[in-house]
Chains A and B, each alone.
Chain A
Amino acid sequence: MKRSRRVSPTQAVLFMMTLISVVGLALIFFFVIREGYPIFSKVGLGKFLLGREWLPTRGLFGALPLILTSLMLVVGSVLVATPLGVGLAIYMVEYSPRPVRRFLKTIVELLAGIPSVIFGFFGITVFIPLTRHYFGSSGFGLIPAIVVLAIMILPTITAVSGDAIRAVPRENRLIVQALGGTRWQTVRRGVLPSAFRGIITGTILAEGRAIGETMAVLMVLGNAPMMPKALNQPAAAMPSQIALDMAYATGDHRVALFALGAVLLVFAAVLIFAARRVGRQRR
């Protein structure tokens, strides 16, 4: 060990600035769980997570309809967005000429920057009438929510899988080409297998974004906290229900909303764990 590794005051200050993130994260977990915990001891963790009825006015706090809806939104939007997002990434890295790639990069970045409340508004004015017209319901429900979410998570999928595709060594492509492969075979056989983990990482990160998305979902989902029955019927997801009810919730209801927040935190943490695991094994 070198003894000369004295820590300068500057280094100490900078280290503490870095620690703010850790402290902030710890405080978030602490306060959200502290405020939400009483509902677990009152209703019971199992009954909270698996209860099928969310009727705060009657003291029923079963979060299963909200959790299920959130999961359906995640699965639905990732199923829609992954082929598009990965396809776009493949096109950008493997096919497009330089100016087109830069143009598309700007498009994807702009799409990523649009606030969720504007997506929600666009959903209300464009996707709700479309859903009403084609699926004959009020228009609010899982279908417009999945479409809006898919658009919102597409940039994440494109960015992360694009990085993974770019990181594939040139030799992989050259080998397939030397064997007489077409451009698509080069992508299919030479690039995608090596980039696979990166693409999965991208979809997991996108799932994290989808499960926590609040405003856009709140504005198009219809917010009916019942077990989801059909894709064209209103439903309610965890984050949107929190945002909606927080305006007036008191007592146990408020506690239950924080408990929902804690459940959301756990989901987000699990997804980050998964993304890091998948991402790391690549090396």
Chain B
Amino acid sequence: MTSVMRKIVDRMMFALFIFIAAVVTAFLVYFIFYIVSRGYTAFSWTFLSTAPHGIKMEGGVLPMIVSSVYLTLLTLLIAVPLGVGGGIYLAEYAGKGRIVESIRFAIDLLSSVPSIVFGLFGLVLFVQVMGLKYSMLAGALTLTLMVLPIILKISEESFRAVPDAYREASLALGATKEQTIFRVVLPTAIAGILTGAILAAGRAFGETAAVLYTAGMAPLAPVSPLEGGRTLSVHLYLLATTGHLEEAYRVAVVLLVIILLFNLASNWIMNRYRRKFVSEAI
């Protein structure tokens, strides 16, 4: 290749990469704009605070918001302690043995299980065998298994990111290993744990397939964890596939805005945390 050709190819590849980056960015912007511009009427108090009525599901989405929030919080309530506990174990206690390797493999496998398979499993074990029926609890238990790998991985990473000097300082002062972990390492890693929890919340909030046959589709606001409910995502699915597009746009806006807020929040915390951590470590 002559040097002119090389320069031309170099320029062309550079242009191609910029083009790809621009296309992906433009797509996301268009995607958000498209949905928000058609469903922005969702930002009205009546829509957010009343129940749907009639065959076209007009009116509001209050019961769906309640169901989604209920389900997400219940999931986090179960999954965060388990995930953080597991993360502590993997980061602070686990060695490199066979058993730990197989546990890690199982976690990888769990994160690859398709969401509808989680739904099938939840339907059999929680809804039927355990007799929970279509309920918030059955949905939350199913979602717990789904989001557990996310929380586990991110909390393990944030524990590992805590410098050993912290642990050594604590141990040198006579603290036990438990005291060191829970009073020194855990508080330092809290931002990472929070990030994991928010990501998990976003995942649970937007999930549909695993929830359809575990939390149900009844368009009523649940009170007890043994009652079922229809989440925003399930509501959007039902509206979109039955041709109620106008209502669907509005539900999509509510869902999209909440999910984007979750993601921006976790992003923000992580960036702040990294900055703080780097400066402290120096």
A, B from the same assembly: yes
A interface residues, Cβ below 8 angstroms from B = 8, 10-11, 13-15, 17-22, 24-25, 27-28, 31-32, 35, 84, 87-88, 90-92, 95-96, 100, 103-104, 106-111, 113-118, 120-122, 124-126, 151, 154, 182-185, 187, 205, 208, 211-215, 219, 239-240, 242-243, 246, 257-258, 261, 264-265, 268-269, 271-272, 276
What are 19 pairs between A and B in contact, CB < 8 Å? Answer: A18-B89, A91-B18, A95-B17, A110-B28, A115-B259, A118-B259, A121-B240, A182-B9, A183-B13, A213-B114, A214-B116, A215-B209, A219-B241, A239-B114, A239-B209, A246-B119, A269-B112, A272-B105, A272-B108
Q: Which residue of B lies closest to A94 (CB)?
A: B17
Q: Which 5 pairs show the lowest CB-CB distances between chains A and B?
A: A212-B114, A115-B206, A17-B85, A91-B17, A182-B10
B124 A25 Cβ-Cβ under 8 A: no
Identify which of A32, A124, A126 contacts B120 (C-beta below 8 A).
A32
Tell me the bound Cα distance from A17 to B25 in angstroms: 40
B206 A117 Cβ-Cβ under 8 A: yes
B9 A219 Cβ-Cβ under 8 A: no
User: Binary interface profile of B, 91-118, with partner A (CB < 8 Å = 1, else 0)?
Assistant: 0011000000011011111101111111
9-residue interface stretch from B132-140, B144-152, B164-172? B144-152
Identify which of A107, A185, A271 contacts B28 (C-beta below 8 A).
A107
- Chain B residues with Cβ below 8 Å from A215 are 115, 208-209, 233, 237
B43 at the interface (CB under 8 A from A): no
A239 B116 Cβ-Cβ under 8 A: yes
Identify which of B25, B34, B234 contacts A107 (C-beta below 8 A).
B25
Q: Which residue of A lies closest to B31 (CB)?
A: A122
B208 A31 Cβ-Cβ under 8 A: no
B103 A271 Cβ-Cβ under 8 A: no
B255 A122 Cβ-Cβ under 8 A: no
Interface residues on B, range: 35 or more
Q: A28-B113, A114-B256, A268-B109 are in contact. List 8 more A-B contacts (CB 8 A).
A: A110-B28, A116-B115, A118-B252, A151-B27, A215-B209, A219-B240, A246-B120, A265-B117
Q: How far is the CB of B46 from chain A (nearest CB, A)?
A: 23
Given contacts A126-B34, A272-B112, A21 and B148 within 8 Å (CB-CB): yes
- Chain B residues with Cβ below 8 Å from A154 are 24
A114 B259 Cβ-Cβ under 8 A: yes
B35 A113 Cβ-Cβ under 8 A: no
- Chain B residues with Cβ below 8 Å from A182 are 6-7, 9-10
Q: How far is the CB of A266 from chain B (nearest CB, A)?
A: 11
A25 B106 Cβ-Cβ under 8 A: yes
Report whether over half of chain B's contact residues are helix, strand or loop; otherwise say mixed. helix
**Could you say which of B21, B237, B240, B263 has the most chain A C-beta atoms within 10 Å of its C-beta?**
B21
Given contacts A88-B20, A91-B20, A17 and B86 within 8 Å (CB-CB): yes
Q: How far is the CB of A79 from chain B (nearest CB, A)?
A: 15
Tell me the bound Cα distance from A276 to B104 in angstroms: 11
Tell me the bound Cα distance from A39 to B213 in angstroms: 21
B183 at the interface (CB under 8 A from A): no
Q: How far is the CB of B150 from chain A (nearest CB, A)?
A: 11
B103 A18 Cβ-Cβ under 8 A: yes
Identify which of B103, B114, B236 contacts A121 (C-beta below 8 A).
B236
A84 B20 Cβ-Cβ under 8 A: yes
A25 B109 Cβ-Cβ under 8 A: yes
A84 B6 Cβ-Cβ under 8 A: no
Tell me the bound Cα distance from A232 to B140 in angstroms: 38
Q: Which residue of B lies closest to A103 (CB)?
A: B25
Given contacts A21-B106, A24-B110, A219-B241, A31 and B124 within 8 Å (CB-CB): yes
B125 at the interface (CB under 8 A from A): yes
A122 B34 Cβ-Cβ under 8 A: yes
- Chain B residues with Cβ below 8 Å from A272 are 105, 108-109, 112
- Chain A residues with Cβ below 8 Å from B10 are 182-185
- Chain B residues with Cβ below 8 Å from A126 are 34
- Chain B residues with Cβ below 8 Å from A114 are 31, 206, 256, 259
B82 A17 Cβ-Cβ under 8 A: yes
Tell me the bound Cα distance from A105 to B183 in angstroms: 33
- Chain B residues with Cβ below 8 Å from A24 are 110, 145, 148
B233 A185 Cβ-Cβ under 8 A: no
Q: How far is the CB of A197 from chain B (nearest CB, A)?
A: 17
Q: How far is the CB of A11 from chain B (nearest CB, A)?
A: 5
B14 at the interface (CB under 8 A from A): yes
B121 at the interface (CB under 8 A from A): yes
- Chain B residues with Cβ below 8 Å from A20 are 82, 86, 148
